Structures are given as C-alpha cells and as structure tokens.
Amino acid sequence: MSGRRSDTRDRIQQIALELFAEQGYENTSLREVADRLGITRPALYYHYKTKEDILVGVVEDLIRSIDELLDWARAQPRTQDARMAVLRRITDLLSTRWRPLIKFSQTNQRFLDTHPIGDQLRNRMLTMVSVLSGPEDTLVRQFEARLAVLAVVIGSVPALFDLDVTDEQRNAVALEVATKLLREA
C-alpha cells in the first residue's frame, strides 16, 4: 500500500513540476494539477495541502539524492577512474531524475531565491560541485574539478545553448568537455 501512495506522490510531483515549468509556479493552481492528473482535488489534498508542499517535497527528494551521491563519491578512492565515475553519475542524474527540477528552476528562480528550501538546495549544489577535489589539490586542480562538474550541470540546461541538438547530444558533449578538464588536471 505504501508503494502505491509513494507512486501517486511521485506522479503528483512530476505533473506539478511540468505545469510549474510551463506556466510558472505562481500561475499554476492545485486545481490544474488535479485536472492534469485526472483526479479530484480532495484526492490531491490527501497527499499535498498546497503547491508549496509539492515543491518542497520535490526539492527535499533532490537534496536526498545529492546526499546519496556525495556519500557514494566520498567512499570512492581518490583516483582518476573514480572521479570519472562520479562525473558520469552526476551526468546520469541530471539527464534523468533531476531533469524536471532543472526545467522548473529555469522559469521559477524567484521561488527558489525566496524560499528557505532554495538555500538548502544551493548549499548541496555547492558541495556537489566541490566533490571531485580535495584541500590537498592545487588551487588550479580544485578549480578545474569544479568547472568539470559545472560543465555537466550547465550542459543539462537547454536554455543556455542556441544549438540544434538533442538533450542526449548536449549532455554527451558536456561530459566530454568535463572529462577533458579532469584529464588535464
């Protein structure tokens, strides 16, 4: 039973994020979320009382997944192969699990700037950006490692590119650029 409830909550989050990205957070009502889901408003309210609750749930899930990634990355040996594996995992998450929130953040930055959950998300992202280097690395190497992570993050944002390529092509190129930064480090 809890799996079914979790699936419903995930579906609500997915549809709400789509609407928030399409219409803007402020311009989307819970009624529109329920209508797109094909459920009644009371059924939606059973899972989420407000659209802020939905969004906070999405961001909290993202933060948990970043924490899982960071824990995994910190447990890896400090080798070039491990660093590349971390970078590939970040790329995979950006192109799958994290993609809806990336799209949302492009059009709804104001919400993330004013809500406390936005600070938590920014802090986790800053920690993720620094995961490929340590204090023992030279300043140049630390900078290159951060740029490598930023390359795959930026590569996941279609609005930043005026290129006629698919999401998969853009992500692959971003990973290639990031890989070059790490190899040269």
In terms of pLDDT, which residue wins out, 152 or 185? 152
pLDDT at position 3 is 60
Is 154 a member of any domain?
yes
Name the nearest CA neighbour of 94 among 175, 12, 181, 7: 175
Q: In angstroms, rounded to a whole number, what is the distance separating the alpha carbons of residues 165 and 127?
A: 30
The mean pLDDT value of the chain amounts to 88
Q: Tell me phi and psi for residue 5, to 5 degrees.
A: -65, -40
Is 115 a member of any domain?
yes
pLDDT at 161 over 80: no
Q: How many domains does the chain have?
A: 1
pLDDT band (50, 70, 90) for residue 1: very low
Is 77 a member of any domain?
yes
Is 48 a member of any domain?
no
In terms of pLDDT, which residue wins out, 107 or 185? 107
pLDDT at position 185 is 54
Range of the domain at 126: 56-184
Q: Is 4 exposed, middle or buried (0-12, 13-18, 19+ CB in 10 A)?
A: exposed
Is 88 a member of any domain?
yes
Task: Give percent of the chain with pLDDT exceeding 90.
Answer: 44
Is 34 a member of any domain?
no
- Mean per-residue pLDDT, 101-113: 81
pTM to 2 decimals?
0.80
pLDDT at position 4 is 65
Q: In angstroms, rounded to a whole number, what is the distance separating the alpha carbons of residues 86 and 80?
A: 10
Is 82 a member of any domain?
yes
Is 4 a member of any domain?
no
pLDDT at position 5 is 63
